[in-house]
Amino acid sequence: MKNRKLLMIPGPSPVARSIQDQMGRETVAFGDPAFVRDFKELLADLKSLWRTAGEVFVVAGSGTLAMEMGIANTVKRGDRVLVVSHGFFGDRFVELCERKGILVDVLKSEWGKIVPVGEIRDALRKQAYRALTVTHVDTSTGVSAPVAEIGLLLKNHQGTLYIVDGVCATAAEPEYIDESGIDILLTGSQKAFGVAPGLAIVWAGPRAMQRRKELGTIPEYYADFEKWLPIMKDPSKYFATPAVNLVWALKESVRIIKEEGLDARHERHAKVGKAIQSALETLGFRILADPAHRATTLSAILYPEGLNDAAFRQTLGDEGAQVSAGLGAYAGKMFRMGHMGNTDMHDLVAVLASIERTMNRCGKPVEPGAGVTAFLKNLTK
């Protein structure tokens, strides 16, 4: 019997029952005192958990809006930005900046590898940049960038703001804002927070808020920090309608995070990510990312000889699990699987078992239980 398809794509990730319940609540006025109190508490928690003396903005939108907010509020037409790109989503910053008349230099890695920190250091020495962007986990490659190390480097370049895209990392991989020298951290609700899609979340440290002031009036309206700041300070005020039920859902997600502990959540992701990746290797797959820079939130998984991508993903779907296709040059050569947020342990075991059944059906037989056993053994290491 099949009642449920496991949602194992790299976002949206599975939404826990208690978070779904918040989305199913009767919607109230955004000025309702109980909602205003909830929203305020959520914002305070987001600032204290991610450790910034700056601000946080929670608005209706997706991760791309959060990227746009990060750029629009810190750099202007004619400024120069350094983009460190480890894949498809790193490259998105290039297009976004160029549309705004921002001058862009790009350091790109081969997919699966990182741009060496020494190269970033050299680029910063040669040229002054108003900002540097990096994608913490690039969802196209499963590569995790050395965010803390880049932050250290930027301590010697005070005029360069540090913008981190945490869409596929925040709430799973460490990103303590002020102590890591991060000025903007941005994400969406649908990945490691385990909420449905629909919220853009942007933290802006003190230097980023100062930069916003210096920019004066900016062309963007909905994306402008200055439009939202009064609301984030007092959510009973109005600028544009907040996504009431999603705010509640995010609040429940943060409650879960507090209960688990953010550090413990990071450790869980690291452990699960490693165990999943070695289980897949046991089954004959290869992981695209270099072992030293593998994301804990998703895996980009290269097929062994003899497995056809379309047949594999179709059959895996029949077996009850949905994964994503490879992007760019890796389309047809790999699939991508999420293992982030509030994904249950029994779902992780189940997805590995469905991958084994799929391999057996697709003419690449494996010992039933081989992947599951490797996963469970690795978890206890």
Ligand X SMILES: Cc1ncc(COP(=O)(O)O)c(C=O)c1O
The 8-class DSSP code of residue 291 comes to G
Separation of alpha carbons 316 and 161, rounded Å: 43
**Smallest gap, in angstroms, from Cβ of residue 140 to ligand X?**
8
How many residues form the binding site for ligand X (CB under 6 A)?
13
Give whichever of 11 and 320 is closer to ligand X, judged by the CB atom.
Answer: 11
Q: How far is the CB of 137 from ligand X (least distance, A)?
A: 6
Nearest approach, Cβ of residue 113 and ligand X (Å): 17
How far apart are CB 64 and ligand X at their closest, in Å?
3
Residues paired with residue 133 on neighbouring β-strands, in sequence order: 83, 163
In terms of CB distance, is 87 or 242 closer to ligand X? 87
- Smallest gap, in angstroms, from Cβ of residue 331 to ligand X? 16
Query: CA-to-CA distance for 371 and 238, rounded, in angstroms?
Result: 52
- Member of 35, 89, 93, 248 binding ligand X (CB under 6 A): 89
Nearest C-alpha neighbor of 283 from the set 336, 360, 346, 379: 360
- The yes or no reply on residue 91 touching ligand X (CB under 6 A) is no
Under the criterion CB under 6 A, does residue 277 sit at the interface with ligand X? no
**Beta carbon nearer to ligand X, 97 or 353:** 97
In the beta sheet, which residues pair with residue 49?
none
d(CA 226, CA 31): 20
CA distance 316 to 362: 10
- First and final CA of the chain: distance in angstroms? 34
Q: Any bridge partners for residue 83, and if so which? A: 106, 133
Q: Which amino acid is at 271?
A: K
* Binding flag, residue 85, ligand X (CB under 6 A): no
A 10 A CB-CB count for 98 gives 12
DSSP letter (8 states) at residue 242: -
Closer by beta carbon to ligand X, 55 or else 138: 138
Residues 188, 242, 320, 341: which binds ligand X (CB under 6 A)?
188
Shortest reach from residue 136's CB to ligand X, in Å: 7
Closer residue to ligand X, CB minimum distance, 16 or 169: 169
In 3D, which of 155, 160, 180 has the Cα closest to residue 170? 180
Asked if 322 is part of the footprint of ligand X (rule: CB under 6 A), the reply reads no
CA 106 to chain centre: 21
Q: Which residue number places its CB atom closest to ligand X?
A: 63
User: Can residue 64 be called a binding residue for ligand X (CB under 6 A)?
Assistant: yes
- Nearest 5°: the CA angle 139, 141, 145 is 80
The piece of 59-67, 225-233, 251-259, 302-310 that touches ligand X (CB under 6 A) is 59-67
| Distance in Å, CB of 206 to ligand X, minimum | 24
Pairing mode of beta strands 161-165, 184-188: parallel
Q: Tokens standing for 104?
A: 């862009």
What's at 261, amino acid-wise? Answer: G
Q: Name the minimum Å distance from CB 61 to ligand X.
A: 8
Binding mask 8-27 for ligand X (x = CB under 6 A): ---x----------------
Tell me which residues in 115-174 interact with ligand X (CB under 6 A): 135, 138-139, 165, 167-168
Instruction: Give residues in contact with ligand X (CB under 6 A).
Output: 11, 62-64, 67, 89, 135, 138-139, 165, 167-168, 188
